[in-house]
Chain A
Amino acid sequence: MGGKYGKQHRERERRETRESLASFDEETAWSPNPGEPTVQEQETNYISETLLIAQRTVRYVRNDSIVEFAVVVQERVGQDQWREVLCIDTCNHGTVHRHRDGDHTQLEAIAPITDQGVVQDGYWEAVGEAYDLVYNEGATP
């Protein structure tokens, strides 16, 4: 019962997201207040000698809420060379979106950024997707 409800709930969420993306005007996207002091930090988690996940967050100093983020999965292809496998971020475009295989000319929109909560939720989901990719699928999307 719970599983069926869960599937229906997820399908409804996906439908709502598709609809909101279709009617979304990028010009009206929420963006951080440029006058508000922020702090930017990055952490790089070396999963192995050939795989890493980096996360960059920009937060308001005032309340620590995340206002921008990028979560990036990279795999080593040479001595000091890394290839981007997946990037989920909020930079430009007014959406939480993903890029695959380092191709930043193409994007898959995940959710329109209508308020700060979308960014915070998007960060949470992005971390989940990146770690599931690396640990469950071997970093090959």
Chain B
Amino acid sequence: MTKAELSKRVMRTIAIDRRRPHLFRDQSGNAPLMIVLPNEYVGDVFDRAQKLSSAGGFNIIVAFAKHFEVMTYDGAINPEFDMEISGDMSMGMLGIKMDQNPGKCIRINVRGQSVDVPSAASFAYA
């Protein structure tokens, strides 16, 4: 399935499904987000997210074929431990590593930058 098709499914789920994910929203109620595929590089994704997160937070959605995972950061959480990540790791692999620490907030250090992310939450498509 293409990124276009997966993006449509994610956005429709966010708008329509009652079990929609809880997203970071800025003061105007807008949720800035980026949909990425599991094979995209963590370094590239977080570089882009840092540039776009001018409102102090951001949502990264990893779209798998049968479900999607939401990583939300808003700067208001306290990380429980650090995780050094290579920028060349895939987003899918990052999700697996985060799943090994369920419910914990993690400070991800990648390419000299730090991002505090609570554990990724998984959702089914509508």
Which residues of A pack against B, CB within 8 Å?
40-46, 49, 53-55, 57, 59, 64, 66, 69, 120, 123-124, 127-128, 131-132, 134-136
Contact A135 B18 (CB under 8 A): no
**In the bound complex, how far is the Cα of B51 from the Cα of A79, in angstroms?**
12
A43 / chain B contacts, CB cutoff of 8 Å: 11, 14-15, 23, 30-31, 33
Other-chain contact of B31, A44, A53, A64, A128 (Cβ < 8 Å):
A44
Within 8 A of A (CB), among B25-48: 25, 28-35, 48
**In the bound complex, how far is the Cα of B31 from the Cα of A123, in angstroms?**
18
Task: Quote the shortest CB–CB distance from A127 to chain B (angstroms).
Answer: 5
User: Please, how many residues of chain B have a CB less than 8 angstroms from a CB on the other chain?
Assistant: 25
Closest B residue to A64 by beta carbon equals B18
B34 / chain A contacts, CB cutoff of 8 Å: 45-46
Using A49-B48, A66-B15 as known contacts, say yes or no to A41 and B4 having CB atoms under 8 A apart.
Answer: no
Total contacts A to B, CB within 8 angstroms? 66
Contact B11 A46 (CB under 8 A): no
Contact A57 B15 (CB under 8 A): yes
Asked if B8 lies at the interface with its beta carbon under 8 angstroms from chain A, I say yes
Other-chain contact of B7, A42, A59, A66, A131 (Cβ < 8 Å):
A131
Query: Can you add 6 more A-B contacts, CB < 8 Å, to A43-B23, A123-B15?
Result: A41-B15, A45-B34, A53-B11, A54-B30, A66-B15, A128-B8
Sample (11) of A-B pairs whose CB atoms are under 8 Å apart: A40-B29, A41-B25, A43-B23, A44-B30, A45-B34, A53-B11, A54-B30, A120-B16, A123-B15, A134-B4, A135-B2
Asked if B77 lies at the interface with its beta carbon under 8 angstroms from chain A, I say no
Contact A44 B2 (CB under 8 A): no
Task: Quote the shortest CB–CB distance from A139 to chain B (angstroms).
Answer: 12
Contact A55 B11 (CB under 8 A): yes
Closest A residue to B14 by beta carbon equals A43
Task: Quote the shortest CB–CB distance from B30 to chain A (angstroms).
Answer: 5
Using A135-B3, A136-B4 as known contacts, say yes or no to A41 and B29 having CB atoms under 8 A apart.
Answer: yes
Contact A45 B29 (CB under 8 A): no
Closest B residue to A41 by beta carbon equals B29
Contact A42 B12 (CB under 8 A): no
B3 / chain A contacts, CB cutoff of 8 Å: 135
Asked if B65 lies at the interface with its beta carbon under 8 angstroms from chain A, I say no
Contact A124 B32 (CB under 8 A): no
